[in-house]
Amino acid sequence: MIFEKKCGLRNKGYCYCCKKEVAFNAVSDWLRDHYLCQNCGCLPRERALMYCIEKFFKGWENYAIHESSPVNRGASKRLKREARDYKASQFFLNYPLGAMHPSGFMNQDLENQSYEDGAFDLVVTQDVMEHIFDPAKAFQEIARTLKHGGAHIFTVPMVNKEKPTEIWAAKNEDGTINYLREPEYHGNPVDDQGSLVTRHWGYDITDFIFKSSGLQTTIVYIDNIDLGIRAEFIEVLISRKY
C-alpha cells in the first residue's frame, strides 16, 4: 500500500542499488533528495540510473567502467563492488592530474583527462554535468575515452526542461569566475563548500552533446513507485558512441 502525505511518501518495493526488497520512505515532499531506500540510503535518481544500467547494458559486470565523482552509496557502491574493472575519480584543484590522491581517488578533470583513447565501455556521472565550466570539452573527453559501442550514462537535473539551457557561471580568461546568476551550490562528497552550478540544462542538452562530441543521446524517464523511482528531475541520459 502507498501512503502519500504532506511529509512525503512511504511504500515497499525493490531497490536496484542494493538488490533487495525494501521500504522506501520520504520525510519531505522534495522526493529527489529525501525519498530514501531504508536499507542502503540511495536516492531515486541513483535507483533510476542503476535500473537503466541493468536494462540496457547486460553483462556490465564485465565492462571497463569509469565513474567520475562517485558517492559512498547506491549505484556507486554497487558498481564498485560488482564491476570487473571499475575506476573511480574525483577532481581536486591544485593537485597533479592523473595522480592518486590521498583520499584513494585518482585525480581527473573531466575536461582534461589522462585516460587513453577508448579505455572504457561505460562512463558514469551522477549529477556532475551541471557543475562543469566547459561541458563541450568534457563531453569530447568522455567520447574520446569511450570504446566504439560504449556509452556515457548519467543523471543531470534538467531544470529548464523544454526551455533553452541557461549558463549560470563561467570562467573568465584569467581563471576567475563570472557569476551570471545568483551563485548556486550542490553537495560535493570531497568539498564542504559544495560544487558551483554552471548550467541549468534543458532538453536541448541532447543537441549540445551531439554537436560537441558526436555522441547520440537518449533521455529515459522512469516513474515506477514499486522500484522507488519517483522524483523531480529523474531523467537518465544515455549517450552512445557509434
Residue 4: is its pLDDT beyond 80? no
Q: What is the pLDDT of residue 1?
A: 36
Domains in the chain, number: 1
| 211: alpha, beta or left? (left if phi > 0; alpha if psi -120 to 50) | alpha
Q: What is the pLDDT of residue 99?
A: 95
Q: Any residues with CB less than 8 A from the CB of 83 and at least 6 apart, and which?
A: 60, 61, 63, 65
Region 21-30 average pLDDT: 95
36, part of any domain: no
Provide the pLDDT confidence category of residue 94 given band limits of 50, 70 and 90: confident
User: How does 136-173 read in b/e, with b if 16+ C-beta sit within 10 Å?
Assistant: ebbbbbbbebbeeebbbbbbbbbbbeeeebeebbeeee
- Distance CA(20)–CA(7), nearest Å, equals 25
Nearest-Å Rg of the Cα atoms of the chain is 18
Q: Are 157 and 127 in contact (CB under 8 A)?
A: yes
Task: Give which of 241, 215, 242, 236 is closest to 52, Cα–Cα.
Answer: 236
Q: What is the pLDDT of residue 21?
A: 98
Region 231-241 average pLDDT: 97
Residues spanned by the domain of 188:
59-240
74, part of any domain: yes
142, part of any domain: yes
**In this structure, what CATH number is given to the domain that contains residue 149?**
3.40.50.150
Q: What is the pLDDT of residue 37?
A: 98
What is each CA distance from 170 to 131, 176, 179, in whole angstroms? 10, 9, 7
195, part of any domain: yes
Q: Are 127 and 144 in contact (CB under 8 A)?
A: no
Q: What is the pLDDT of residue 93?
A: 87
Q: What is the pLDDT of residues 39-48, one digit of tens each?
A: 999 999 999 9
Q: Are 139 and 68 in contact (CB under 8 A)?
A: no
88, part of any domain: yes
15, part of any domain: no
Q: What is the pLDDT of residues 131-169, one digit of tens each?
A: 999 999 999 999 999 999 999 999 999 999 999 999 999
Q: What is the pLDDT of residues 160-205, one digit of tens each?
A: 999 999 999 999 999 899 999 999 998 766 666 678 999 999 999 9
Q: What is the mean pLDDT of the chain?
A: 94
Task: Give which of 27, 54, 56, 57 is closest to 43, Cα–Cα.
Answer: 27
72, part of any domain: yes
Q: What is the pLDDT of residue 186?
A: 86
Task: Give which of 15, 14, 37, 34 is closest to 24, Cα–Cα.
Answer: 37
Regarding predicted confidence, which is higher, 242 or 191?
242
> What is the DSSP secondary-structure string of 160-183?
TBTSPPEE-EEE-TTS-EEESSS-
Provide the pLDDT confidence category of residue 121 given band limits of 50, 70 and 90: very high
Q: What percent of the chain has pLDDT over 90?
A: 89
Residue 237: is its pLDDT beyond 80? yes
91, part of any domain: yes
Q: Are 113 and 145 in contact (CB under 8 A)?
A: yes
The answer to which of 5-9, 98-102, 160-164 has the lowest mean pLDDT is 5-9
